[in-house]
Amino acid sequence: MAATATQRLSGHDVIAARYHDVDPVYAETRDLRLLGFVFFLLSDCILFSSFIFAYVYLRISAPAWPPFLNGHQLPWFDTSFAAMNSIVLFGSGVTMHFALENWKHLNKAKFNAWLVATIVLGIGFLLGQAHEYSVVGISWTGTTMGASFFTLTGMHGFHVFVGVLYLTILGLQANRGTYTDSKYFGLTAGTLYWHFVDVIWVFLFFLFYIW
């Protein structure tokens, strides 16, 4: 009987049953949008990978690292400060996770609190990066070390900046009633994006501060 009843369901009916109260069109397009967003993140991975592999090649090919400039060897980057700044960024990934989970459970107050915490931590990371740029002692020109450092961390910092704007817009939309407990793809995409910048920073932190 159950098998017969299932066979009678149309494609839209099956999708609606899967997503309960979500309308069939939304459920179908949600999967397509998620796939498209995943492809966008993969394309960003390729972008970062290209620069990372170029940096690794240049570093391995260099006769000494850190390289010399005007007869003096450049200093290593400040690992301690970068570690503290990394904790700020990784902590924002945790707060973003809790923000999404509270939205799923219709706890709007906690969602707002966790989302604001995520945005504040993201801004804190950017301020920390700006401070490091002001005291690092090298420039973008002159050495492969400086060019690689500013290019990769700057590109990542730009992604964090875009993420802060993105989360701010998502917060405004959520409080305006754009999303519900069953229709919140924008918040899911924002969370995925924010976790993406966390993962990219893991590789950059290893390359510039540990290796």
- Who contacts 155 (Cβ-Cβ below 8 Å, separation ≥6)? 47, 48, 51
Q: How many CB atoms lie within 10 A of CB 124?
A: 15
Residue 72: strand pairing partners: 69
- Residue 138's pLDDT is 86
> How many structural domains does the chain have?
1
- Residue 6's pLDDT is 36
C-alpha of 36 from chain center: 16
DSSP label of 139: -
- Residue 17's pLDDT is 42
Per-residue pLDDT of the chain (211 residues; tens, 9 = 90+): 434 433 333 444 433 444 445 566 666 677 888 899 999 999 999 999 999 999 999 999 988 888 888 888 888 999 999 999 999 999 999 999 999 999 999 899 999 999 999 999 999 999 999 999 999 988 887 789 999 999 999 999 999 999 999 999 999 999 999 998 888 999 999 999 999 999 999 999 999 999 9
User: In terms of Cα–Cα distance, which of 77, 51, 48 is closest to 146?
Assistant: 77
- Amino acid letter at 150? F
- Residue 96's pLDDT is 98
Residue 73: strand pairing partners: 68
Global confidence as pTM: 0.85
Question: For residues 47 and 196, what is the distance between their CA atoms, to the nearest angstrom?
Answer: 13
- What residues make up the domain containing 116? 2-210
- Residue 14's pLDDT is 39
Q: What is the CATH number of the domain that holds 160?
A: 1.20.120.80
